[in-house]
Amino acid sequence: MSVAPVPSALPESSSDGFARLSRTRFLLSNEFGLILLIAAFALLFAVYTSGFLSVFNLFSLGRNAAVNIMIGLAMMTVIVTGGLNLAVGAIGVCAAMGCGWLLQILGLPWPVAILGGLALGAGLGAVNGWMVVRTGLHSFIITLATMSIFFGVMIFLTRAEAFRDFPEAMTAFGKMRLLTYLSPLLLLTFAVALALAWLYRFTVTGREMLAAGANPAAAELSGIRVGRAIILCHMLSGLLAGIAAMMLVTRNGAAIPSMAGQLGQDWLLPAFLGPVLGGTLLQGGKVSVLGTVLGAFLVTMLSSGLLMLQVGAFWVQTFLGLMLLVAVLLDKARRSWLARRNLA
Amino acid sequence: MTNLARLSRTDWFGPLLATILAVLLIQSLSANFLSAYNIQILLLAIAVNALVAYSQMIIIAIGQMNLSVGAIGGLAAISFAGAMEVWGLPAPLALTFALLIGLGCGALNGVLIRITGISAFVITLATLSIFKGINLGITEAQPFYGIPEGVKRFGGAVLVGPVPWLLVPTLLVTAILWFTLRRLPVGRFILAVGSNDHAAGLSGISVGRTVIIAHAISGLLAAIAGVLVVARLQIGQPSIGDDWLILSFAAPVIGGAILAGGHVSTTATFLGVVIVAIITQALVLFSIDPFLVQVVLGVLILAAVGLNKLRAGAATGGR
């Protein structure tokens, strides 16, 4: 199992001094529950399916998990502010198509094209953030509108045609295997997750983002520029969505306008599953990078395992929806149990 | 002058003005716009889209959102078509079955939101994927083709001139919905819960029941829309409802609905649907790229929420 020890970014865990209490807390935490679930399901799939632990399956599992975790992190950075970003999929596809355009039409070298695509993603995210701050409207309606606009403009400009001429160097990265089963994409994802954990735990900018999400009025009064923090969060979300899309491009060897479904809607479920399973509060102000990584990993593993159990590809979506439902119910039960015992 | 000021404060006045201006403008640029054929196409689009918009509107009224509108519509549509093809049910029975499915799905949303207290966004995102998954699991993404002749005839029939029969259910629903929200206790309860659920609860309204009823109505309306699409397309497509999400928010918001709840208007939402249909049609008529429809919808949503905010600011003396 390739779950790296990413440090938890729970704000309260940094402030306790009692080892025993913090250990009890960890055992009761969402993250520990997720690790148990991952272990249990991995065992189940390993026993009941043939080939779940095969080198090929572990490799493709890691590759899919890398993308899903990145999508979850892209949503997480906005959930931190108490908002949503429905446009993650649309921004991702725009970034991928932008990269393809720079490569194929302008003939730029691939590192420049990738940077250009990522910059486009971050830029579109910044547009979202700027509009949310300037209008004071909820990010739900703003990103609902921009998801339609971004995707529509992208389809209009590309004539819905894919870019397929990607250089060897990029596609080779998507196919590369380290130690026979590990995809470098997964390592890239872990690096990004570590950077995010560091951002939220140790940097002023990260703490300001959390404060702006927890209580904007109080944050403003303590001298934090809330508007700037929110724009930064949306920018980060756009950037991460762009990275997720680039990973898909290196994997598929093509930038396809429909790679995230109609308007990028296919990314919405994985985007919310990771953070919500991982215990990131939708009201904002609290974040768990480790939880998001574990949550997204669990989802990827379950979809892959269910397919191998021959559940039928069409039913997997139903199971994922049911899982989101069960997860939020369990989390609610856990919280109220903790509240009764004064542990949280 | 005071009359005009009062008119400008109602929800339907702005959209109506925009509709008339749009019709005049497009007609002056293209004589084909008001041809009988074009009007029929417009009305067909309006018949389905209005129900989709109402389905979201009733949830906006209680201050929540329903992402699963399209998934419920799609599930009802394939239940309708599947019941007729596979079970050989007569059309009225299949219709009842499909509407019950829609009602049940909506009520399930409401019950889950109520008993868990989790935000409607997360619950309906989960049920969106559950309903869509059941749809794909049953159909395996293959359409049902065995639609009886009677249903097909209803889908293509015209009432008078360019007015299609499909518009009749929509107009009936519009009238019933308008009457419910204006005059019936349950409609007033829905709006009261939307503006302030705590106050509504204290004044003796059962908030939980109202939320569940609103979601059940939403599911029912989505199901009617799904069935109408089956009648129009003459096949039970599993992909029905996939592209309803943006539209379902656009029309109520253009009609001045406040997303925080408690304030919606049936007539203005209907006009919102008309505006969207006219603009979509104009893009086709002037052979502007159909891909741009999505962009226009997005811009319309942004413009409408911006205007609503300005209007709300003006009404409360500027905030």
Mean pLDDT, all residues of chain A? 84
Q: Regarding predicted confidence, which is higher, A10 or B261?
A: B261
What integer pLDDT is reported at residue A21 of this predicted model? 63
> pLDDT tens digits, residue range A176-222?
787 777 888 899 999 999 999 999 999 999 999 999 988 888 998 98
| Chain B residues whose beta carbon lies within 8 Å of the beta carbon of residue A318 | 129-130, 132-134, 137
Least CB–CB distance from B126: residue in A146, A159, A324: A324
Element (H, E) at B19: helix B13-29
Where exactly are the structural domains of chain B?
Answer: 35-243
The rounded distance, in Å, linking the Cα atoms of B317 and A288 is 42
- In chain B, whose CA is at the least distance from the CA of A314? B137
In a domain, A182, yes or no: yes
Could you tell me which chain A residue has the CA closest to the CA of B128? A321
Is residue A4 domain-resident? no
Q: Inter-chain contact A153–B293, Cβ cutoff 8 Å?
A: no
Q: Is residue B106 predicted with pLDDT exceeding 90?
A: yes
CA atoms in the 13 A half-sphere facing the CB of A30:
30
Q: Residue A92 belongs to a domain with what CATH number? A: 1.10.3470
Of A144-158, A176-190, A232-246, A288-302, the one with minimum mean pLDDT is A176-190
Q: Which residues in chain B (65-104) have CB-CB distances under 8 A to chain A?
A: 65
Segment A313-333, tens digit of pLDDT: 788 888 888 888 887 887 778
Chain B residues in contact with A328 (beta carbon < 8 A): 116, 118, 122-123, 126
pLDDT at position A344 is 52
Residues of A in contact with B119 (CB under 8 A): 282
Inter-chain residue contact A141 with B253, CB threshold 8 Å: yes
Q: Given this model, what pLDDT does residue A182 score?
A: 82
Is the ipTM higher than 0.90? The answer is: no
Residues sharing a CB contact under 8 Å with residue B248, sequence separation 6 or more, in sequence order: B52, B53, B55, B56, B66, B69, B70
Q: Does B244 touch chain A (CB under 8 A)?
A: no
pLDDT level of residue A343 (50, 70, 90 thresholds): low
* Interface mutation target, options B142, B279, B291, chain A, most CBs of A under 10 Å: B291
Chain A residues with CB inside 8 Å of B133's CB? 314-321
B112 close to A (CB below 8 A) = yes
In a domain, A225, yes or no: yes
| Owning domain of residue A154 | 11-340
How far is A17 from chain B, CA to nearest CA, in Å? 33
pLDDT tens-place string over residues B132-158: 999 999 998 899 988 888 888 888 888
Partner-chain contact A156 B242, CB within 8 Å: no
- From chain A, the residues in CB contact with B293 under 8 A are 152
Establish if A2 belongs to a structural domain.
no
**Predicted pLDDT at B296:** 85
Q: Report the domain count for chain A.
A: 1
> What 3-state DSSP class applies to B115?
helix
The yes-or-no verdict on residue A312 having pLDDT over 60 is yes
Of B116, B126, B129, the CB nearest to A332: B116
Distance CA A155, CA A110 (A): 22
